Amino acid sequence: MRTLPALIVMLSESAMPNQMLPSGIFIRQEIIEAVRFVFFDTECEEWPYATHGGTGFIVNYCNKIYAITCAHVRGDFVWAELNITNRKHGNKIAGISEIYYITSPEEEAKDSDIVDVVVVAFRDDVDANFFDGTAYIFNSGTIATSSIRDKIFVYGALKEKSSIIDGKIAPVYCCLEMQDSGPETSDTTLRHAIARFESH
């Protein structure tokens, strides 16, 4: 059994049916297409890219594209070296403009996982077309808090299975299915669910 780094892309079964946009149009999004493998420039000619493992999630919020990931995926790299591709197995790298994260958490947010969340803003020329329409549209009609017994699907990149060899990036993704078992007692902002992943 192993843990998966930065498993941040979760969707409850209740949020998966057709979703209504503010315009009244119904859509059905493939959340798995919004997942990205997180890796960094090394400035080393022999090994131009490297990763500590991690997953990013491309979202479209108010017609602007962002990536959501976790602070710990950076490891000993710097954010300016972050690479996020146009598709899950992409060939273009998005230009990054800003990194946003919580610096002064208050009350329940202190010592919670929320301080590990990072939002990546892209340059103005990186739009929905750059990501070939795979960014997950984020609004009140497309996201929801899970409830007890909801099925939850977690998508992420497997560090041990992914490879970066001779500049060729070959991410491997997996999906875990679990069931919501209620609020996390130590952190009221989180839900509790358990899944087991075995790699042979």
Average pLDDT of the chain, as a whole number: 83
For residue 107, the model assigns a pLDDT of 78
Q: Is the pTM of this model over 0.85?
A: no
Answer yes or no: is pLDDT of 4 > 90: no
- What is the rounded average pLDDT of the residues 128-134? 94
What pLDDT does 21 receive?
64
Q: Per-residue pLDDT for 8 more than 50?
A: no
Q: Please, where are the H alpha helices in 96-179?
A: none
Q: To the nearest 5 percent, what fractions of the chain are helix, strand and coil?
A: 10, 40, 50
CA-to-CA distance for 36 and 50, rounded, in angstroms?
Answer: 15
Tell me the pLDDT band of 120, cut-offs 50, 70 and 90: very high
pLDDT beyond 50 at 2? no
CA dihedral (184, 185, 188, 191) in degrees, to 10, reads 10
